[in-house]
Amino acid sequence: MLIVLRLLSALPLPVLHALGWLLGVLVFPWRRRADDVVENLRQAGLDRPGMVRCANVGIGKGLLESLAIWLRPFPKAMALVREVRGWEHVEAARAAGKGIIALEPHLGNWELGGLYLGQFVPITFLYRPARQAWADTLTRQGRERGGVRLATPDMKGVRAMLQSLKRGEGVGVLPDQVASKGDGVWADFFGRPAYTPTLTFRLMQSTGAVPLILFCERLAWGRGFRLHVMPAPAFSADPAEAAGQLNGAIEELIRQYPDQYLWTYRRYKRPHGAPPPEAAP
């Protein structure tokens, strides 16, 4: 399997995106849980004509382009970033001796931004092993490129992230990922409560690190990516309010690039053991 994927990764990005288009049009509408895309778009108020197809095509492109990012020689993979906007925010944090919390929502290609940042800032990401051995090997090796460190999603991993930030390094967080029981709060996301992780706010309070939103925009016709680096909102000290502010910032980005969001993600599920939204304080 890995040999086949490596061969695919060598194809030009426009070809990979064309194959991703075919997946999105011919395969994804019939896959298990295909209705999640329809329901999530409806919840966000973005269920415009043709939007389901655009969302599926974006998912197909993202799947195949990740092979190029993970399996091509590292310099060639990083060369897929054609333009960077907002890099001055990284430089300002570094000049101040602050750690950086890279917030990468499931938008565009979230694998590329952290790897790109890791060329300039030592960075640690939490990583949950994949169920299939070949997929775990692919994902782990892909995410460790360029010296990126992976930490387990437990207290040991959180301690590793704290230590990295205290050294003035970086950590990567998926801010729109459903939190585990006890690690999140319910906050509005497109008009519906979503269990939102509070790790970012705990890390900020403990280390004084600077939160930055990273988004690798997929350019048309396989031309590569544009990396956006943006300051996060000025978060409230209250975790529930801060989670709402973070979700609002992500919503704003998604509305600008709705075809590049991972609409299959089950953002509104309730983790086992978490209180229902109506029981939240």
Rounded to an integer, the average pLDDT of 113-135 is 93
Closest CA to 117 of 63, 62, 171: 171
Residue 10 pLDDT level (bands cut at 50, 70, 90): very high
Question: 280 pLDDT exceeds 60?
Answer: no
Q: What is the pTM of this model?
A: 0.94
Residue 279 pLDDT level (bands cut at 50, 70, 90): low
Residue 25 pLDDT level (bands cut at 50, 70, 90): very high
Phi, psi of 210 (to 5 degrees): -95, 120
Provide the b/e sequence for 93-102 (b: ≥16 CB within 10 Å). Answer: bbeeebbbbb
Measured CA to CA, the distance from residue 271 to residue 252 in angstroms comes to 25
- pLDDT reported for residue 23: 94
User: What are the structure tokens assigned to 106, written together?
Assistant: 């499931």
Question: 281 pLDDT exceeds 60?
Answer: no
CB 98 within 8 A of CB 210: yes
Give the tens place of pLDDT for each residue, 242-276: 999 999 999 999 999 999 999 999 999 999 888 88
